[in-house]
A and B are shown apart, each in its own frame.
Chain A
Amino acid sequence: MGGDPQCRREGEMTGRGHARWVRLTHWMATAAVAALAFSGVEILMVHPRLYWGDAGNDLTPPVLELPISRNYRHGGWTAATPLLAGPGAPVSAGRTFEIFNQNGWGRSLHFLAAWILVAAGLVYVLAGVVAGHFHRHFVHGREALSAAALGRDLREHLRGVVPRPSGGPDYGPLQRASYALVVFVVAPVLVLTGLTMSPAVAAAVPMLLDLFGGHQSARTLHFGAFATLALFTAAHLVMVVRSGFARQVRAMTVGDRT
């Protein structure tokens, strides 16, 4: 399949499926993201409060609290004592409540899966550039990504008009835009905000703290990017089912068998 539209049309007709490296990295990323989501929710349950800035804890105001574990507003604290003189000074209090905390495996599983995702992501991006995948399927013919085309595609999606599946990487306008958003915005933000929370990495690359406005801002953005990815995944699964589940799964597993 080259840049020639006629070739792409043929690929579409015969249903060549996805390239081997796309299939491999897709399922590596699927496994990694599933493990990351599972462990990530566990980690968030341990401290279900989100903040903005560099410091944020039970004794400072959150921007968002999630009622997702017994740690939500547990209130098990000794009386606050001031840490400095003067009104409004920072305080300390001792925790007397035994919190839910499974971070022993949660954190280590999260980082194991993160390494796998980064490995899959590097292979995907490098191969995508070398093989011309991004150029051919994300950039080429980007006039199809005009506001009018996206709007038309969105209306068709909402009306439930599903284009005949190509069984390969001939993406529609909305599909193309959402894949590009996930690959080039959401995934990098997830990785970089994650790295910002590593004290050793933040010491080596303090620019990360400035980029995201501090450790807790990075943590909040990490959660926001995860929520975006979760929405994408839900929409992705709906479209896979609605556009011909068997054919789409075949294209992403065995590939070219037709």
Chain B
Amino acid sequence: MTSRLVTRRHALAAGVAAAGGVMLGGCSRSLPPTYGSMLRLADNFTYVAHRTLLPGQSLVREYGRADLSSFPAVGTIDPASSKRTEVAETYRRWQAGGFGDWRLSVSGAVARPGAWSLQELKALPSRTQITKHTCEEGWTAIGEWTGVPLSRVLDAAGLQPSARFVTFKSLDRRYDSIDLLDALHPQTLLAYGMNGADLPVAHGAPLRLRVERHIGYKSMKFLTEMIVTEHFDDGGDRGYPKNGWAWYTGI
């Protein structure tokens, strides 16, 4: 009975994944794998439905300064006290040098791979936006974010025509990706400022992502690395899908 169920589930998964692939231009590797799970299959269904039914680049609501709310910090709140000595030592070194020797490495399907310092990122045109952070846990908070639109950095790096996803890695060993539609969204920022000041440590200093049409865990803190990829990269054991969490979190 068990094996029959699994088989049926696999068949269903393959069928819907194929249907999704057709809807996304026939490229099956443009969707996250389902690992034979109905739940990951449903995530993909939501992803394809949103990309098919919702307007491509609608902006999230922006608020005024009077709307700024208190803002919990969750997940890693201080890498300097990480149990991983390498993480803690690296972060203490960065802090001691005012994040002067921190770099964001940019690689993959780009014409000009390289490493960006905080000063170089701050020299690019910036955007400030007051938006709502929606945590998967159920709470929300309104904060003001200042940073460089991710599209500016991707332009500077020179996206290759084969580029489809942008993968991010962080000091606290997170590994996640967004599709190019979200990467090029006008409100997707590499943020170095919060509420008019430097990004606080608990909120991801020196640089965090803001992906405003997603749930909060998509907005990765403590960024170190950005890789432009041609295919979906699940991040292996460090990625969300293999750990039982949705990759697409627009819902």
Contacts and interface: CB of A to CB of B under 8 A. Distances in A.
Interface of A: 43-44, 46-47, 49, 54-60, 77-78, 80-81, 83-84, 90-96, 99, 101, 103-105, 107-109, 111-112, 115, 197-204, 206, 209, 215-216, 219
A135 to B, nearest CB: 30
19 contacts: A57-B141, A84-B68, A90-B69, A90-B71, A90-B195, A92-B71, A95-B72, A95-B77, A103-B136, A104-B245, A112-B39, A112-B45, A197-B134, A200-B250, A200-B251, A201-B54, A203-B54, A203-B212, A209-B61
Interface of B: 38-43, 45-46, 50, 54-55, 58-61, 63, 67-74, 77-78, 132, 134-143, 194-196, 200, 202-203, 212-215, 243-246, 250-251
Given A197-B134, A200-B50, A203-B61, A216 B140 contact: yes
Contacts of A209: 61
A57 B72 contact: yes
Contacts of B69: 55, 57, 59-60, 90
B173 to A, nearest CB: 18
A83 B195 contact: yes
A200 B71 CA distance: 21
Contact of A108 (B59, B212, B243, B246): B246
Contact of B59 (A43, A84, A103, A203): A203
A201 B251 contact: yes
Contacts of B196: 84
B113 to A, nearest CB: 31
A107 B68 contact: no
Given A90-B69, A92-B72, 16 more contacts: A43-B138, A46-B137, A55-B132, A55-B140, A57-B71, A58-B139, A81-B200, A83-B143, A83-B194, A92-B203, A103-B137, A108-B39, A112-B39, A112-B41, A197-B134, A209-B61
B74 to A, nearest CB: 5
Contacts of A59: 69-72, 141
Q: Which 8 A-B pairs have the closest CB atoms?
A: A200-B250, A47-B138, A94-B77, A112-B42, A59-B70, A57-B139, A108-B39, A104-B244
Contacts of A111: 42-43, 46, 251
B3 to A, nearest CB: 22
Contacts, number: 153
B141 to A, nearest CB: 5
Nearest to A197: B134
Given A57-B72, A93-B73, A112 B38 contact: yes
Contact of A202 (B61, B142, B143): B61
B137 A200 contact: no
B202 A94 contact: yes
Contacts of B195: 83-84, 90
Contacts of A219: 138
A118 to B, nearest CB: 10
A100 to B, nearest CB: 10
Nearest to A44: B138
A94 B200 CA distance: 11
A115 B46 CA distance: 9
B224 to A, nearest CB: 21
Contacts of B61: 202-203, 206, 209
A107 B138 CA distance: 11
A92 B74 CA distance: 10
Contact of A215 (B54, B140, B200): B140
Contacts of A92: 70-73, 200, 202-203
Nearest to A210: B61
Given A109-B39, A216-B140, A204 B68 contact: no
B137 A99 contact: yes
A43 B251 CA distance: 14
A56 to B, nearest CB: 6
A203 B61 CA distance: 7
Contacts of B55: 204
Contacts of A55: 67, 69, 132, 140-142
A78 B77 contact: yes
Contacts of A99: 137
A199 B138 contact: no
Nearest to B55: A204
Given A112-B39, A202-B61, A203-B61, A46 B138 contact: yes
Contact of B72 (A43, A44, A93, A200): A93
B54 A57 contact: no
A50 to B, nearest CB: 9
A203 to B, nearest CB: 4
